[in-house]
Structure 1
Amino acid sequence: MCELLAISSRQATRLSFSLTALAGHSTPGHSARDGWGVAWYEDRQVVLHREAGPASDSPLARQLASAGPPTTLAISHIRHATRGARTLANTQPFVRELGGRSHVFAHNGDLPGLAADPRYTPGRFEPVGDTDSEHAFCALLARLAPLWQAGTPGLQERLDAVAGFAAELQAYGPANFLYADGETLFAHSHRRTQADGRIAPPGLHWLQRSCAQESEPLLADGVCVGCGYQQVLLLASVPLSQEPWLALAEGETVAVRGGQLLARRRA
């Protein structure tokens, strides 16, 4: 299956991604050569890099591995295509504007039949590609749009809306996703293909780390986060180090900001 990764930190920090190493965590028997992407925030604007080919063949991916961007929030996705051609339009993360902010979304799973269901119309957020993941993102933004008409909604309003939408997606298939609205990161954990071939929870894991010294970077397989007296929280499809990663519960949605877990909701 696809691999998801998100990083949230209290202060801007330089991130280095080894996307080839992250791709190595894919479920055995599943290729991870169908594309990759990384989106990170610079204030309210998003910098997005995506390629439809494997990260192992990409000079850009190697550059990010050695000298990544300074940011407080980043989302990465490594694709195993199950629906839609191997094209840039179908490569995640996806980005759209809502309420004067760049919103980012990446999904791990398969949602057959979602696009044909009239309850999940994309409204003004038309998909560019033909994946169920992008359709789900557009439908989510259509649900959220009324909340953003008068400015940034409260955290509880947003969490309720995202968690409610996530609970509905579970009826279609594995619905693990990462979603950021420029201020808060939301993550929903469901089920994924495990190493033994079962489709079962957990779908996401998280690790929080307080860095006490400038010389203590957070090191994981595929990720290096320069800490420097701050707090960092990672979310990933599978644990990336020997540290005590925690599994999110099946159907759980969390809200993260500044390297801290602010709220959680379970369907």
Structure 2
Amino acid sequence: MCELLGMSANVPTDICFSFTGLMQRGGGTGPHRDGWGIAFYEGKGVRTFHDPAASVNSEVARLIQSHPIKSHIVISHIRQANVGGVCLVNTHPFQRELWGRHWTYAHNGQLTAEIFDWPLGDYIPVGTTDSERAFCWLLGEIRREFPKAPTLAEEQERLSLFIQERCDRLRSLGVFNMMLSDADRLYVYCTTKLQWITRRAPFGEAVLQDVEVKVDFGSETTPDDVVTVIATEPLTTNETWHPLKPGEFIVFRLGEIEHLSEENPPLPVS
């Protein structure tokens, strides 16, 4: 299995602290040695870094760890290969264009070979993973159902419900933990393992689980900041993370929950 990391914030925020914990799991405290990648949204633009090497030994990962790139939305992934060789083209997160926006996607899990029989629309995989194939299918389905970008609140809600339904179909093929973004929202779907935490005032200290690093968010933030972090497993030892349930779908915008599966009411924020 791979591991995922995502962030949604209401102000440009760096993810150096959380990424420092995640990168240890890429060949250090975890077995995910088969590449890693990260995408930072800056307005409609997206800054991406990929490396097929283990993140714990990656000079590029150390650059990300030490360089505070600020973003509203971040998606990161460390890989333990199941389908497709270990190479740059198979390294998440993947990107495609829709409605003049960069859509970014990362997947944790493994789908059956049936995914390679599902017909594709306008998007064709570059690599050989089941993950990228599922992304191309999903984005093609969205493009077919929504030729134009939603502009009204009810249209956006219908899009969220549509993405959830298509994720339910992908889940029928195996483990499908996913993060997807269009530069405005972060869509998150859980099959087995995903946890989230929302940090807001009053901010406190956080201690990483995988390496001896801690930070006082009170000295790094303002009282109006809202930052939600999502990860496969909790990254800190002294905070309360909220597990998503199998089949749960959640949409974050500017750090807050915009949409949540009806059968699962929101959990209290920390």
TM range (shorter): 0.7 to 0.9
1:228 to 2:222 alignment: yes
Letter in 2 for 1:38: I
Q: What is the total number of aligned residue pairs between the two structures?
A: 252
Q: Which residue matches 2:156?
A: 155
Cα distance in 2, alignment partners of residues 18 and 207 from structure 1: 12
Contact 2:26 2:54 in 1 (8 A): no
Measure how far apart 1:152 and its partner are: 3.2
Contact 1:110 1:173 in 2 (8 A): yes
Contact 1:17 1:64 in 2 (8 A): no
Contact 1:5 1:234 in 2 (8 A): yes
Q: Secondary structure at the match of 2:40?
A: strand
Q: Which residue matches 2:260?
A: 264
Contact 1:211 1:217 in 2 (8 A): no
Cα distance in 2, alignment partners of residues 75 and 103 from structure 1: 11
Segment of structure 1 superposing worse, 107-116 or 218-227: 218-227
Contact 2:26 2:33 in 1 (8 A): no
Letter in 2 for 1:207: I
Structure 1's 53 and 84: CA in aligned 2 closer, same or farther, altered over 3 A? same
Cα distance in 2, alignment partners of residues 175 and 34 from structure 1: 19
Q: Secondary structure at the match of 1:116?
A: helix
Q: Which residue matches 2:137?
A: 139
Q: Which residue matches 1:34?
A: 34
Cα distance in 2, alignment partners of residues 212 and 19 from structure 1: 23
Contact 1:218 1:227 in 2 (8 A): no
Q: Secondary structure at the match of 2:139?
A: helix
**Percent of aligned pairs sharing the same letter:** 32
Q: Secondary structure at the match of 1:114?
A: helix
Cα distance in 1, alignment partners of residues 26 and 149 from structure 2: 39
Measure how far apart 1:158 and its partner are: 1.8
For structure 1, the residue ranges without an aligned partner over 5 or more in a row are 192-202
Contact 2:25 2:32 in 1 (8 A): no
Q: Which residue matches 2:14?
A: 14
1:165 to 2:159 alignment: no
> Aligned Cα RMSD in Å?
2.5
Q: Which residue matches 1:198?
A: none
Higher share of residues assigned helix: 2
